[in-house]
Amino acid sequence: MAYDEELTARLRAALEGLVGLVEKRMMGAVCFMVDGNMICGADRAKTGERRFLFRVGKDHQDEALARPGAKLMEMGGRTMSGFIFVDAEDCGDDALRSWVALALDFVGTLPPKTEAKR
């Protein structure tokens, strides 16, 4: 995965004002975190596909997969439950806000990670 500056800027704008927001380079992309828990990220796949990544949790997974351009995250042949890739073409401004809200809804249920766990 490679960094996608435009998509990262869109996420940064959508998350503006969120208390405790941290950007971190992970998996070759830029991810956004609160209290040590990943919310979302953006990248460019080796195939050139531009996509967002949202952490929606297993409880919201079916709802998320019903949305346009959504598919389960797969890394190294392994499916990552609760993590959804969304094609950038299927994620206009309204959809992006909705995806961010869904991810924040899930991440808000997680306990903060201590420094040792980060």
Which DSSP string corresponds to 48-111? --EEEEEE--GGGHHHHHTSTTEEEEEETTEEEEEEEEEEGGG--HHHHHHHHHHHHHHHTTSP
pLDDT level of residue 1 (50, 70, 90 thresholds)? low
37-44 and 50-55: which strand pairing? Answer: antiparallel
Q: For the chain, what is the domain count?
A: 1
The whole domain housing 96 covers 5-107
**Residue 12 within a domain:** yes
Evaluate if pTM is beyond 0.85. yes
- Looking at residue 3, what DSSP letter applies? -
State yes or no: pLDDT of 108 exceeds 90.
yes
34: three-class secondary structure by DSSP: strand
In a domain, 91, yes or no: yes
Average pLDDT score, the chain: 91
Q: Which residue in the block uniquely carries the two structure tokens 């927001």? A: 21
The CATH number given to whatever domain includes residue 93 is 3.90.1150.30
Structure confidence by residue, pLDDT tens digits, 65-100:
999 999 999 888 899 999 999 999 999 999 999 999
* pLDDT score recorded for residue 31: 94
**Is residue 116 in a domain?**
no
Residue 82 placed within a domain = yes
